[in-house]
């Protein structure tokens, strides 16, 4: 049995609308946060190609990702990072959350194309094989989110037998939504297990509002785990830089036994 830390982090896309807190000014804070917490595996969302290049400066990690517009280099990436010294990458499975998942495409009700990236890994310490997936569900359409969750479960669970699965991401779905209930039935929300130590606010999206109370944060970023995994602890990390958050989302990190 091996303890590993798995995180999800929506790093916030690079946009001029953020003014003096755009990626150029946030970049070092995001990278230093990741270096300090030193997660074994993490999924990142809203990653523009030049942001992906910056994240690749974290040279301890291998990376797999998919650009949502064309599958090559157009649009935001979903990306998975894993410690190269700890894990072997066995294979990957990437797809669009649409009616034609094998090709660049969009669900009819979605605001933009959405994708999922799944990596099948093997621990170099124990030889245990497991899968980790990252996604970013649609911010507009609940129908699209539910459809996407079904596609993810269908694709990922069909590729494994008794191997564990961890699904992370920005799901844009609160715990009251059908999308969350579907995922929490097939998998489990890591932070809400009875024997799991939890730290931080439940909410994960603060929209860069440092003065907003914890009770007003939106709970939309999750780590879901398959039934056979034991989750020791989960944290929603509220690190800030002199009163400003590195991203408009907090990272969520889980320590699991695999």
Token pair, residue 183, equals: 């995922």
In this structure, what CATH number is given to the domain that contains residue 119?
3.60.10.10
Per-residue pLDDT of the chain (258 residues; tens, 9 = 90+): 899 999 999 999 999 999 999 999 999 999 999 999 999 999 999 999 999 999 999 999 999 999 999 999 999 999 999 999 999 999 999 999 999 999 999 999 999 999 999 999 999 999 999 999 999 999 999 999 999 999 999 998 888 878 999 999 999 999 999 999 999 999 999 999 889 999 999 999 999 999 999 999 999 999 999 999 999 999 999 999 999 999 999 999 999 999
Torsion sign over Cα 140, 146, 147, 153: positive
| Residues 149, 172 contacting (CB under 8 angstroms) | no
| Residues 52, 65 contacting (CB under 8 angstroms) | yes
Helix 178-186 vs helix 142-158: crossing angle, to nearest 10: 10
Nearest to 254 by CA among 192, 203, 162: 192
Question: Is the overall model pTM greater than 0.75, yes or no?
Answer: yes
Question: For the chain, how many structural domains are there in total?
Answer: 1
What's the half-sphere exposure (Cβ side, CA atoms, 13 Å) at 111? 9
User: Domain span at residue 74?
Assistant: 3-257
Q: What is the Cα–Cα distance from 97 to 174, expressed in whole angstroms?
A: 19
């Amino acid at each position: 049995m091996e303890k590993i830390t798995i995180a999800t982090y929506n790093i916030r896309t690079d946009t001029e609308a953020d003014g003096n807190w755009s990626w150029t000014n946030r970049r070092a804070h995001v990278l230093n946060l990741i270096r300090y917490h030193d997660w074994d595996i993490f999924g990142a969302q809203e990653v523009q190609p030049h942001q992906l290049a910056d994240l690749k400066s974290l040279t301890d990690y291998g990376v797999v990702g998919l650009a949502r517009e064309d599958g090559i280099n157009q649009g935001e990436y979903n990306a998975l990072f894993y410690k190269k010294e700890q894990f072997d990458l066995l294979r990957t499975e990437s797809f669009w959350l649409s009616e034609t998942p094998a090709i660049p495409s969009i669900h009819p009700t979605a605001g933009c194309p959405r994708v999922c990236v799944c990596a099948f890994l093997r621990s170099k310490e124990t030889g245990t094989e497991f899968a980790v997936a990252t996604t970013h569900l649609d911010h507009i359409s609940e129908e699209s989110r539910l459809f996407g969750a079904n596609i993810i479960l269908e694709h990922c669970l069909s590729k494994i037998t008794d191997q564990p699965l961890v699904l992370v991401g920005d799901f844009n779905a609160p715990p009251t939504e059908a999308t969350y209930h579907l995922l929490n039935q097939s998998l489990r929300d890591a932070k809400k297990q009875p024997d799991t130590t939890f730290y931080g606010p439940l909410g994960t999206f603060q929209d860069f509002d440092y003065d907003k109370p914890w009770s007003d944060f939106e709970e939309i970023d999750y780590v879901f785990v398959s039934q056979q995994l034991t989750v020791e602890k989960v944290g929603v990390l509220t690190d800030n830089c002199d009163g400003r958050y590195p991203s408009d989302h907090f990272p969520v990190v889980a320590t699991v036994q695999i």
